[in-house]
Chain A
Amino acid sequence: MAVPLPLPPPGPQFVLRGTQSAVNALHFGGGAQAQGRQLLFSGSQSGLVHIWSLQTRRTVATLDGHGGQSVTWLQMLPQSHQLLSQGRDLRLCLWDLAEGRNAIVDSVCLESVAFCRSSVLAEGQARWLLALPGKGSDEVQILEMPSKTSVCTLKPEADAKPGMPMCLGLWQAESSPRPLLLAGYEDGSVALWDVWERKVCSRVSCHEEPVMGLDFDSQKARGVSGSAGKALAVWSLNGQQALQVCSTHQLTNPGISDITVRPDRKILATAGWDHRIRVFHWRTMKPLAVLAFHSASVHCVAFATNGLLAAGSKDQRISIWSLYQRT
């Protein structure tokens, strides 16, 4: 018996068109409070945030709050109708979307013109932490929201010179309430910060090129990062809060702009500069699929809680995929 031929990769379930500019950020919203009305937020180069209904596959609303400057990051706050959007106009806006409203209720001014996406840590509390690139080019600022009080500024030691932070990930171990921050830097290293102590717990150099995206699985204490280079790095955190590179995975073409582990921690997806979305098995890092649909760089990938995968590309399209879903 010969090995059965692998199936050809599937096509997208459907495609959302109409942003009329490159898609830079995606975020699935809705969930429980939306009563099955699943939404997808997309932030575009032209500064608009589109809210898509996945039932009708049409835009529900368009938010214009960044003065025509590119939107780079979108995040819904859990258990609320509030959306955070980060724009290249150096503003971070908080939108209230409850009951069909779409108004900016608050905004934070960024002090860095870098491309670093912010990160949020909010476990259903009234107060939440926001990590965003700081004033100094290598700094990360932590704010307590909604009061906007600065908790601290994380500045690497003088001799480290990691360059600008490129991507951030705030998280909290289940065992302790200490907020921790993972930051990928321009020199290709990933550092773990203890926010309360304002110090680097551990730092590992895993890429030759700037780290472009990272995601962390706090259950397995394992994270993955992608860079402008040709490799993915998987690293883990041991009991002493020390980062170690577990493995690296070579890609065919260089450049990853975003990387996301599915909420059920089974698979992960990368957004490639080579127009392709790659899907890996998270535990084994076995390559599962290479999805070639877009005709320009893929800028962002996002998973919904139900496992749906969305990818936004420079070709102005958002593709929605259904892969390895439990039925």
Chain B
Amino acid sequence: MDPALSVVRLTVREAIHTLSSSEDCGLILSTLRFLKRYLGETEDPALPEEQEEFATVHFSAFLRCLVIKLSPVWLELSPDGQLEELWDSFFLKGPADQAFLVLMEALESTAGPSFCLMKMAQLLANFLSQRRMAALMEEQCRPQKKPGFTLLQETLLNKVVGLPDHLGNRLQQDNLALFFPQNYFPLLGEEVVRVLQGIVDALRGGLDCSVSFMSRVLGKICIQGRQKEILDVLVPQLTVLTQGSCLWQRVCWRLMEQVPDRTMEAVLIGLVEATPGPEVLSRLLGNLVVKSKKAQFVMTQKLLFLQYQHTTPMLQSLLGYLAMDSQRRPLLIQALKELLETWGSSSAVRHAPVTQQHYLSAAILICLAHLREPELRDSQDELLASMMAGVKCHLDSSLPTVRRLGMIVAEIISSQIHPEGPPLKFQYEDDELSRELLALAIPGTSDSSTVLAGGSAPAPTASETLAKTMDDGVESANGSDPQVGPQGSDSDLDSDDEFIPYDMSGDIELKSNKAPLYVRDCMEVLTSSEDMERWEAALRALEGLVYRSPEATREVSVELAKVLLHLEERTCVSGFEGLRQRALVAVIVMDPARVAEYLTSQFYALNYSLRQRLDILDVLTLSAQELSRPGHLKRPTQQVSCGSGAPVLATSQADCTGVSGWRTVVEERIRSKTRRFSKGFPRRELASSPSEFNSVAGYFFFPLIQHFDRPLVTFDLLGDDQLVLGRLTHTLAALMYLAINTTVAVSMGKALLEFVWVLRFHVDIYVRRGLLSAVSSILLSVPAERLLGDLSDELLEARSWLADVAEKDVDEDCREQAVRALLLLERLKDRLLPLSH
């Protein structure tokens, strides 16, 4: 045996003995000071091999002994605090890993709130603030020769990452702020950078180092969900450090590569979130996606297909990263293909939530912005095929947002794949969604901005660029303004401020006034006249005529409804749809029973276009609304005399009147609370003018609900024509709602609940929304006691279905509506309970 080693052993044993038995302050101090020599911090250090032996063999044991001795009385032995200082110094100066482990161990074994516990927590805080953690981790990065170091590393890893949890459990209320995760992990981040700095320096000096411990630390932190805390510190520093230093970049890449597969996903997602743009991401990750299967899976599958909560800037940096290197570009093309495949799958369109579809579309557009036409040429056919399929199923969807997504994406894909061909052009509203998506598709916006912004500054997000372009637009608009100003003021010497022109949009060419004066004439003109001006005038005059001459209308009502239903837009009449719709509504209002009967029978007849069927539903809803409104006959005349103002409104709203008509009804219903509160007043008004809908509600409702399950050759509600089915459910819901306070409401509710029950698992979101609003309107319209008396079984069934939808439906709107309906049901219960007492 090496004599020196035995000397160390003897010394340590003696020291431990002294410590455990002696009460003499001087002796203890001198013993400790003597041992301190082995730490190499004194002016008279021990031999290196002695130090080495002490550190590897005896240090932990000695520290444990120190821990055991710790007590307030013991520390009081030296009143000037020397002993305490020496005691601390062993932990703070000795090998960091052992000191840390002993401390953690001691913290765990020490009982409840006590002096010792607090003392050690304080010491640990000192340990952290004196940067010992960096020393600890740096030690782990050196090449290891000791046996069992993997076990040690594993323990260290657990303790280092789990420190906030351990300390939180031990200290409970007395926990120190430093140990809170939100403080600890940023500190750890700083330490990681310091360690990496050390590694880079060591590598420069030609020493061998491994970052795998760091990778594991990082991975473990991230998988515990603390990505944000640590990466918010780490990423900005690494961004600066990797700029212009290949060594740093390599260390960084290595750091990422060594992250265990298990934790790769958490790290990557955190990193993509935290990096300001593709440029930086590329510097930090290198070609990780090519090297690591797991990383590739996360980046090209998981982030694109399985998750959709991420922001657009994040998508941009992810896809930009894939596009930045020639080795990664094939992955981008592959991703685009797969994205398009998913986008074009009808099942995905039907079942995926709208937000996910939006996410997918944005991803596709960003991909396209990065890819050039030559790269796409190889897979042109494939892309085109997916696009065609996708356009079809998107346009088939009954949700306007999905349709719009389909149009926008299709337009951009076709322009990218066939830049020379005729452009595909859809008509869609220019709103925030479409502008945002179109901005994504402009190639080079993200590239150029990152290049300009350099490494450290975050790339402007899509919304920023959008805002910028909009600002430009406004500026140019402003730019033209001053030009107009001076021109005007050249000639206008005195103030023209008072002569501000009024709106002159109503100044249109006057059509020669050939409007018929009788309903019958009108009908004749509409069916047979070849004179387009006369035809148009008749159409414009019809609504007013119908309201003014109820008798004449009733004589020809069904015939007139037939004419209007089959009326086609023969010339380009502005607001044709609105005119026809209003005229039809007027006819129904004048003679509800017969016309509604006719229209509902036609709804299920052969040889109508979908448009006509939708029109039937719209006018039925609108006229029911009109009929159920108290004092409804007063309004129309006013509308007619409005003259210039009204048609303008009608044109602008022509497209959405159908939608907004019942939308308002639905919204009104949703705002049921306010209705309830104000109920006292309208009820009195109703008494003075009974709802005219009362006597005719059945004509509107029952024929519509009876035949939906009988497919015709041209019309299959349960098959392809789900858009009409969706509208039908919404219409029925609206009719049900409007039938509030009518006598047929109970039987309507019963029929409607059965209808809902049959269709409750319909795949189309729009249909389900309609069903849910139908349930809500039943709950609102059918008197509570009747609901419980006659419909209790159905209600129970509906309730379980609602609970199911509220929990599991893919569509957010559906879930929300289901929750609303459940709340209504609850309130119903509350209202009935006091009754039963």
Residues of chain A touching chain B, judged by Cβ–Cβ distance below 8 Å, are 1-3, 5-10, 252-253, 266-267, 274-276, 281, 283-284, 286-290, 292-293, 295, 324, 326
Query: Are A1 and B502 neighbours in the complex by a CB distance under 8 Å?
Result: no
Can you name the residue of chain A whose Cβ is closest to the Cβ of B477?
A2
Query: Are A288 and B507 neighbours in the complex by a CB distance under 8 Å?
Result: no
B474 CB within 8 Å of chain A:
yes
> What residues of A have a CB within 8 angstroms of the CB of B507 in the complex?
252, 276, 290, 292
Which secondary structure dominates chain B's binding surface? loop
Q: A252-B508, A292-B643 are in contact. List 15 more A-B contacts (CB 8 A).
A: A2-B474, A2-B477, A3-B477, A3-B481, A6-B500, A7-B503, A253-B509, A266-B499, A276-B507, A283-B492, A284-B488, A286-B501, A287-B504, A324-B498, A324-B499
Can you name the residue of chain A whose Cβ is closest to the Cβ of B493?
A283
Provided the pairs A1-B474, A2-B477 are in contact, do residues A281 and B496 lie with their beta carbons within 8 angstroms?
Answer: yes
> What residues of B have a CB within 8 angstroms of the CB of A276 in the complex?
507
> What residues of A have a CB within 8 angstroms of the CB of B504 in the complex?
6, 9, 287, 289-290
Interchain CA distance A35-B498 in the complex, whole Å: 29
Shortest C-beta distance, B510 to chain A (Å), equals: 4
B478 CB within 8 Å of chain A:
yes
Shortest C-beta distance, A71 to chain B (Å), equals: 25
Query: Are B502 and A6 neighbours in the complex by a CB distance under 8 Å?
Result: yes
Interchain CA distance A276-B508 in the complex, whole Å: 11
Shortest C-beta distance, B672 to chain A (Å), equals: 35
Query: Are A1 and B491 neighbours in the complex by a CB distance under 8 Å?
Result: no
Interchain CA distance A253-B474 in the complex, whole Å: 35
Shortest C-beta distance, B430 to chain A (Å), equals: 15
What class of interface size applies to chain B in its complex with A?
20 to 34
Shortest C-beta distance, A114 to chain B (Å), equals: 26
B834 CB within 8 Å of chain A:
no
Shortest C-beta distance, A40 to chain B (Å), equals: 24
Query: Are A9 and B502 neighbours in the complex by a CB distance under 8 Å?
Result: yes
B529 CB within 8 Å of chain A:
no
Interface string of B477-519 (1 = CB under 8 A from A): 1100100000010011000101111111011111000000000
> What residues of B have a CB within 8 angstroms of the CB of A286 in the complex?
499, 501
> What residues of A have a CB within 8 angstroms of the CB of B508 in the complex?
252
Interchain CA distance A124-B645 in the complex, whole Å: 46
Query: Which B610-649 residues sit within 8 Å CB-CB of chain A?
Result: 643-645
Can you name the residue of chain B whose Cβ is closest to the Cβ of A1?
B478
Query: Are B506 and A290 neighbours in the complex by a CB distance under 8 Å?
Result: yes
Shortest C-beta distance, A260 to chain B (Å), equals: 17
> What residues of B have a CB within 8 angstroms of the CB of A289 in the complex?
501-502, 504
- The contact sample of 28 A-B pairs, CB cut-off 8 A, is A3-B477, A3-B481, A6-B501, A6-B502, A6-B503, A7-B502, A7-B503, A8-B502, A8-B503, A8-B645, A9-B506, A10-B502, A252-B508, A266-B499, A275-B510, A281-B496, A283-B491, A284-B491, A284-B492, A284-B496, A286-B499, A286-B501, A287-B501, A288-B499, A289-B502, A290-B502, A290-B506, A293-B643
Interchain CA distance A246-B507 in the complex, whole Å: 25
Interchain CA distance A264-B779 in the complex, whole Å: 67
Query: Are B509 and A9 neighbours in the complex by a CB distance under 8 Å?
Result: no
Shortest C-beta distance, B386 to chain A (Å), equals: 41
Query: Are B502 and A288 neighbours in the complex by a CB distance under 8 Å?
Result: yes
> What residues of A have a CB within 8 angstroms of the CB of B644 in the complex?
292
> What residues of B have a CB within 8 angstroms of the CB of A267 in the complex?
499
> What residues of B have a CB within 8 angstroms of the CB of A253 in the complex?
509-510
> What residues of B have a CB within 8 angstroms of the CB of A281 in the complex?
496, 499
> What residues of B have a CB within 8 angstroms of the CB of A288 in the complex?
499-502
Shortest C-beta distance, B237 to chain A (Å), equals: 43
Shortest C-beta distance, B577 to chain A (Å), equals: 24
> What residues of A have a CB within 8 angstroms of the CB of B499 in the complex?
266-267, 281, 286, 288, 324
> What residues of B have a CB within 8 angstroms of the CB of A1 in the complex?
474, 478
> What residues of B have a CB within 8 angstroms of the CB of A295 in the complex?
643
Interchain CA distance A283-B481 in the complex, whole Å: 22
Shortest C-beta distance, A232 to chain B (Å), equals: 14
Shortest C-beta distance, A103 to chain B (Å), equals: 41
Query: Are A274 and B502 neighbours in the complex by a CB distance under 8 Å?
Result: no
Can you name the residue of chain B whose Cβ is closest to the Cβ of A272?
B510
Interchain CA distance A5-B492 in the complex, whole Å: 22
Interchain CA distance A287-B501 in the complex, whole Å: 7
Interface string of B233-245 (1 = CB under 8 A from A): 0000000000000
Can you name the residue of chain A whose Cβ is closest to the Cβ of B506?
A292
Interchain CA distance A293-B642 in the complex, whole Å: 9
Interchain CA distance A45-B477 in the complex, whole Å: 52
> What residues of B have a CB within 8 angstroms of the CB of A284 in the complex?
488, 491-492, 496
> What residues of A have a CB within 8 angstroms of the CB of B502 in the complex?
6-10, 288-290
> What residues of A have a CB within 8 angstroms of the CB of B510 in the complex?
252-253, 274-275
Provided the pairs A283-B492, A284-B491, A292-B644 are in contact, do residues A252 and B503 lie with their beta carbons within 8 angstroms?
Answer: no
Can you name the residue of chain B whose Cβ is closest to the Cβ of A326?
B498
Interchain CA distance A265-B502 in the complex, whole Å: 19
Shortest C-beta distance, B27 to chain A (Å), equals: 86
Interface string of B515-550 (1 = CB under 8 A from A): 000000000000000000000000000000000000
Shortest C-beta distance, B832 to chain A (Å), equals: 51
Query: Which B434-464 residues sit within 8 Å CB-CB of chain A?
Result: none
Shortest C-beta distance, A226 to chain B (Å), equals: 16
Can you name the residue of chain B whose Cβ is closest to the Cβ of A267?
B499
Provided the pairs A6-B500, A288-B502 are in contact, do residues A252 and B509 lie with their beta carbons within 8 angstroms?
Answer: yes
Can you name the residue of chain A whose Cβ is closest to the Cβ of B481?
A3
Interchain CA distance A130-B477 in the complex, whole Å: 55
> What residues of A have a CB within 8 angstroms of the CB of B491 in the complex?
283-284
Interchain CA distance A267-B496 in the complex, whole Å: 11
Can you name the residue of chain B whose Cβ is closest to the Cβ of A288?
B501
> What residues of B have a CB within 8 angstroms of the CB of A7 in the complex?
500, 502-503
Interchain CA distance A2-B478 in the complex, whole Å: 7
Interchain CA distance A275-B512 in the complex, whole Å: 11
Shortest C-beta distance, B171 to chain A (Å), equals: 59
> What residues of A have a CB within 8 angstroms of the CB of B645 in the complex?
8
Interchain CA distance A166-B227 in the complex, whole Å: 90
Can you name the residue of chain A whose Cβ is closest to the Cβ of B648?
A8
Interchain CA distance A165-B60 in the complex, whole Å: 125
Provided the pairs A2-B474, A253-B509, A292-B644 are in contact, do residues A9 and B503 lie with their beta carbons within 8 angstroms?
Answer: yes
Shortest C-beta distance, A257 to chain B (Å), equals: 14
Interchain CA distance A326-B499 in the complex, whole Å: 11
> What residues of A have a CB within 8 angstroms of the CB of B509 in the complex?
252-253
Shortest C-beta distance, B612 to chain A (Å), equals: 34
> What residues of B have a CB within 8 angstroms of the CB of A326 in the complex?
498
Shortest C-beta distance, B769 to chain A (Å), equals: 35
Interchain CA distance A267-B644 in the complex, whole Å: 23
Shortest C-beta distance, A164 to chain B (Å), equals: 26
Can you name the residue of chain B whose Cβ is closest to the Cβ of A7?
B502
> What residues of B have a CB within 8 angstroms of the CB of A275 in the complex?
510
> What residues of B have a CB within 8 angstroms of the CB of A324 in the complex?
498-499
Shortest C-beta distance, B620 to chain A (Å), equals: 33
Which of A8, A288, A324 has most B Cβ within 10 Å? A8
> What residues of B have a CB within 8 angstroms of the CB of A287 in the complex?
501, 504
